[in-house]
Amino acid sequence: MRNMKALIDTNVILDWMMLREPNAANAKRIMEQCLFGKVEGYITAHSVSDIFYILRKDFSVEKRKNLLRLLCGGMSVVPESRETIMEVLCRKEWNDLEDGLQMQCAKEAEVDYIVTQNLKDFQESEIEAVSEETFCKMIVQSN
């Protein structure tokens, strides 16, 4: 059986890196599964810069770079081309650019799921969005 392919939303990665409750334990499990190859984990290119910026108050530049090297070394990074951005900007139902980019990148990468805290923001997604808790249950069932 092939590994599940999942695009991990920025908020899940931040839950893991910042130990944000109540999702820290689930985020840790998801990220371990991605980084150790049990799940084919994907992140978007814009998530990398977003994470670097968001973590500026909590971590030094060197620590942020190390975390992002770990992340990019263990997961596939989905690039955002001009065509990707234009597709998002032309979709009337996608009012949030960042969420639209996540959805379009997930589609282009042909992942099985988008793992996110914000299910309501992904109702228009062509790729099924699941919560951290649900994805953890799916991981257990697939083993």
What's the CATH number where 29 sits? Answer: 3.40.50.1010
Domain encompassing residue 51: 5-142
70: tokens are 């770990």
Q: What is the pTM of this model?
A: 0.94
Q: How many structural domains compose the chain?
A: 1
Q: What is the pLDDT of residues 67-98, one digit of tens each?
A: 999 999 999 999 999 999 999 999 988 889 99
CA atoms within 13 A on the CB side of 12: 32
- The size of the chain, in residues, is 143
Residues whose CB is less than 8 angstroms from the CB of residue 32 and which lie 6 or more positions away in sequence, other chains included: 38
Sheet holding 128-130, edge to edge: 76-78, 40-44, 5-8, 113-115, 128-130
Token code pair at residue 93: 């139902």
What is the per-residue pLDDT across 93-138, written as a single tens digit (0 to 9) for each? 888 999 999 999 999 999 999 999 999 999 989 999 999 999 999 9
